[in-house]
Amino acid sequence: MKKSRVLRLLGIALIFVMVFSLFAGCSSKPEATTEADTEQVETEKEEVEVETPKSTTPLVAGYSAFSEKFSPFFADTGYDQEAVDLTQVNLITTDRTGAVVYNAIDGEVIPYNGKDYTYKGLADLEVNYDESVDKTVYKWTIRDDVKFSDGKLLTADDIIFSYYTLSDPSYDGSSTLYSIPIIGMKDYRTQTSSEVYDKFDAMFSKIYDAGLDYAVTDADEFTQEQYDAMCEIVNSEWKKDVQAIVDYCAANYGAYYEDYVGYPLEVAMEKEGLKVAAGMALWGFGEVDAETKVLTTAVTSTEFNLANEEYPTVDDYLAEVTASYGDLASYADAGESPQDVSPLSIAKDVFISTEGPKDPSLAGKGVPNIAGIKKLSDTEVEITLNGFDASAVYKLGIQVAPLHYYGNESKYNYDNNEFGFDFGDLSNVKAKTTQPLGAGAYRLIKYENKVIYYEANENYYKGEPKTYYVQFKEGSDADKISGVGIGTIDVTDPSFGNEAVAEIKSYNSNTEVSGDVITTNTVDNLGYGYIGINAENVKVGTDSASEESKNLRKAFATILAVYRELSIDSYYGERASIINYPMSNTSWAAPQKSDEGYKISFSTDVEGNQIYTSDMNAEDKYEAAKLAAVKYLEAAGFTYDADSGKFTQAPDGAKLEYEIIVPADGKGDHPSFTVATLFKETLDNLGFNIILNDPSDSNVLWDKLDANSQELWCAAWGATIDPDMYQIYHSSNSTNSNHYKIFDLELDKLIIDARKSDDQGYRKATYKAALDIIIDWAVEIPIYQRQNCIIFSSERVDLDTVTPDITTFWKWMEDIENVEMINK
């Protein structure tokens, strides 16, 4: 289910939107043609001679806040991705239903809604699965006349560079290209062959089991140098993890510094030793005497007089942790680490990738390339996968970025295994994050005063755009409709709630949603609204997977879920519906009410009984949910005073105060705001203190999610065509998109199993089992499936030039080179 903020992947792409993605699609506009249904409509025209643009009046699109990651590699919000999309071209071409167009160079005629549409694009695609050897071969053949906006030709070398950028072990963007079974991918990323990888994986375990101060002998299967290297790596990674605890406490628990170490955060931030002391105290490895300000460590009873500036170091902290746990494995198993990946697992990867390449079988050369990615000619690239992966075609259909701009041409020589940058160093790629360049319809000129300025790409292979200037203007959701109404915005995507409908109608003389001032288009959104819970930040004890931790989160989820209908109905009316699984209803894999095993999410109590009965009214349900939450919290270890009806004490690792962020422009304008408000009211009445944070700038939430410091939040996912779940839920992904911090081996296996089959029925059943695990973890409360709304200015945009039959998978920008403004 590749998701994004809107979490869209590069290419077909997924990105996480906790607001609403502007151009995820809408229903069709008034048709540009009225001929018979069999008429063929050219959606992507043949090459044309470059001519003077017909309009220099800018097309102004209204957007919510940008994060300024305008990179085909690193964009991770829906708005940033769409800012990039205008400048890029994709290898893959898809039609209005999301199906792959395999012959895009000459074009394919595919019917939709009674009309034939011709789809053209950058590349043809051949896919061949050879059952005899269990391998799948993908062959891209690109046009030979496509130029980047700076006039340089797009070739297979740019594809190779882009693939290697996304495959580099230092890559930390949203793409999960590295996760599909491309032959040689793991070997390249670890710089070891499969045989050597397995050898050093086993060697790490043997050395680790030998323990510290081990005397290496000739009988051992490792050398003294390898033993010393492993010990140094383990110590280094353990120290890094302890430092991560210190930094995590500073980022998340600064308000408690004065209580725990006697100094406020602003003072501690100026002295690293105070930060370390605070980290030790907050993590239970020491205690500070309030009067003397002497820190006494928990295990070794070492004292540090903070008042005399006798501060502990990270090494002191590590010594305390080591004394407590004895070895890194026990520490890792205890769940002390604030990082996504176990420090022991990190240490093993470092050991394999540093010591493995030294193996004699590799002759000191490591692994020079990815065996399954081959350049066949200047216009052909072939990718070979082990087995079959249903999600692969969409991951391979990347945006092709220019080597000469994002890479270093002097470091590119395909025949010599040089791919435009030094292995492990993407600094040049990251340096261009705010200024994209590609072969798309427009060139991004500048981002200034919250406006992105574009100019037409005269080299665009489909022809120079008819409208020369485009602006993406940042603003609040509340100002989008009025912006179109008064003429400061030409196209935008307001939240299509009841108030929005009334406002749109007020501008049109016919009092309808489409009229003389505003034209409205709607389709089902390729995504859904949800409320998230970070399992590492909302748990009991140290184990986020324990039943006690799940019961705590299920208590919260039960309260949040019961108020969904009230909140969504009041905000969207008939334009949204409640969903019970964390997947968009637009996906073929989404569970339906008629499916066996379908359940209302979070509708059973701690003993597995149904909370609600058919004769309950809304108020009855609210009370029943509250009582069920009390039982869940008691099972989680919270102390409940029946006389006062309040919880008085939280178990270790949990607390009575949590924060929920709703990015509602500081004014409560969000579909889940009522849910969050009633959640706070209910929990506050039970003795909790729920902090409801409604920031005016949604980047407050994005930054906290990136730092893995948020507890609960309201947002929306945008998905892509294939329902692959790897990016968001698999424990081995490195995209920083698993904001829930769910780590479940059974879930991991189901995600991979679903990828390996082309049987849609099997995949749907497998994804249903995976969704049930996510619900059991209670880290994501599915809220709503809504309609996307796109509104155009009827007075300034020539609607006959906007692509017809907009769908969930076919955005209005697909033919943006044809869009013209009305010059009055």
Rounded to whole angstroms, the Cα distance separating 192 from 189 reads 8
pLDDT value, residue 113: 84
Please name the amino acid found at residue 207. I
- DSSP H or E run through 649: strand 646-649
Q: What's the pLDDT tens digit per position in 693-720?
A: 999 888 889 888 888 889 999 998 877 7
237 or 40, higher pLDDT: 237
8-state DSSP, 45: P
Would you place residue 24 in the very low, low, confident or very high pLDDT band (cuts 50, 70, 90)?
A: very low
* C-alpha separations of 576 from 368, 539, 751, 786 in Å: 51, 32, 28, 4
Q: What's the pLDDT tens digit per position in 356-371?
A: 888 887 766 678 999 9
Backbone CA torsion sign across 607, 611, 615, 616: positive
Which pair of tokens denotes residue 749?
A: 């296996």
Average confidence (pLDDT) over 788-811:
92
pLDDT value, residue 734: 54
Average confidence (pLDDT) over 632-646:
97
Q: Is the pLDDT of residue 247 over 90?
A: no
pLDDT value, residue 687: 97
CB 306, CB 261: distance < 8 Å: yes
User: What is the Cα 99 distance to its own chain's centre?
Assistant: 23
Tokens 């012959």 belong to 103
Q: What's the pLDDT tens digit per position in 565-609?
A: 999 999 888 888 899 999 988 888 888 888 888 999 999 999 999
Rounded to whole angstroms, the Cα distance separating 674 from 563 reads 8
Q: Is the pLDDT of residue 214 over 80?
A: yes
Global pTM?
Answer: 0.64
Q: Provide φ and ψ at 213, rounded to 5°.
A: 60, 30
Tokens 């998230």 belong to 532
Please state at what angle helix 547-562 crosses helix 564-572, rounded to 10 degrees.
40
Q: Concatenate the DSSP letters of all residues of 67-123 into one string.
A: -S---TTT--SHHHHHHHHTT--BS--B-TTS-B-SBTTT-EEEEETTEEEEE--SE
Q: Is the pLDDT of residue 16 over 70?
A: no
* C-alpha separations of 416 from 186, 382, 423, 429, 670 in Å: 20, 18, 14, 21, 54
pLDDT value, residue 36: 30
Which residues on adjacent β-strands are paired with residue 447? Answer: 452
Which pair of tokens denotes residue 675?
A: 């849910």
pLDDT value, residue 38: 30
Q: Concatenate the DSSP letters of all residues of 315-351 into one string.
A: HHHHHHHHHHHSSHHHHHHTT---SSS-HHHHHHHHH
Which pair of tokens denotes residue 732?
A: 């081995």
pLDDT value, residue 18: 34
Would you place residue 485 in the very low, low, confident or very high pLDDT band (cuts 50, 70, 90)?
A: very high
Q: What's the pLDDT tens digit per position in 43-88?
A: 333 444 444 445 689 999 999 888 899 999 999 888 899 999 999 9
Bridge-based pairing of strands 491-492 and 108-112 is unpaired
Lowest mean per-residue pLDDT among 137-141, 281-285, 719-723: 719-723
